[in-house]
Amino acid sequence: MAAYRYRGVPKPDPATARAQQALAVLAQLRTTLALRSSRVRALTAELGDCLAQAVCDGVKVAAVAKAAGQPAASIRSAALARGELYPSGQTRSGHLHLIAGLASELAAAEGARSAAEDERTRVLALARKSRLLDDYQLAGASGLKSDEIRKMTRGVGLRVAQPQ
């Protein structure tokens, strides 16, 4: 005669499920931030190269600064940093159009990265406030130091949105 064997599964702990979900979201945000930061670095380097090439081709620094939305001093320093350039033969309007496009793409990439950082801060604050995970678990999942997490999340849950 076979003995009765219980084959049921115990109910999962809701706190553990929420903690695992927070860890998964933080891991995804960590990857997203790495990708967006990489894109911002690449666009910054490409914009610097285009700024230097435009100045080398004789485009006025003021026009380049206006197209890039940056101060003229940063345009000059970008041009001086890349010393060994040769004229490309591209037109003034071509340079300015390319620079304006790169500047707007860079601004959009920085905005996306900032939004991901805000989301990470919100998730960290929620996890700390509800005590789902300790600071060291959050640090491991987010790639930040535990004291940085404490500083970032200090008062985040207490802020009230200001009507604009």
Domain contains 105: yes
Task: Please tell me the predicted confidence (pLDDT) of residue 80.
Answer: 85
Domain contains 153: no
Domain contains 7: no
Domain contains 137: yes
Which residue reads 């802020």 in tokens?
Answer: 159
Mean pLDDT over residues 12-28, rounded?
88
Domain contains 112: yes
What span, in angstroms and rounded, lies between the C-alpha atoms of 22 and 31?
14
Residue 161 pLDDT > 70? no
Number of domains in the chain: 1
Task: Please tell me the predicted confidence (pLDDT) of residue 158.
Answer: 55
With vertex at residue 44, the alpha carbon angle to CA 40 and CA 45, rounded to the nearest 5 degrees, is 120
Q: Which domain holds residue 42?
A: 19-147
Alpha carbon 36 to its chain's center: 5
Domain contains 162: no
Could you say which DSSP state residue 82 is in? S
State the pLDDT confidence band at 164, using cuts at 50, 70 and 90.
very low
Amino acid at 18: R
The answer to whether 26 touches 142, Cβ cutoff 8 Å, is: yes
Task: Please tell me the predicted confidence (pLDDT) of residue 1.
Answer: 62
What span, in angstroms and rounded, lies between the C-alpha atoms of 155 and 142?
19
User: What are the Cα distances from residue 78, in Å, to 20, 40, 41, 51?
Assistant: 46, 17, 15, 7
Domain contains 119: yes
State what percent of residues in the chain have pLDDT above 90: 48
The answer to whether 40 touches 109, Cβ cutoff 8 Å, is: yes
Q: pLDDT (tens digit, 9 = 90+) per residue, 88-137?
A: 888 889 999 999 999 999 999 999 999 999 999 999 998 888 888 888 98
Alpha carbon 103 to its chain's center: 16
Could you tell me the two tokens for 164? 């604009």
Closest CA to 125 of 108, 102, 149: 149
Domain contains 115: yes
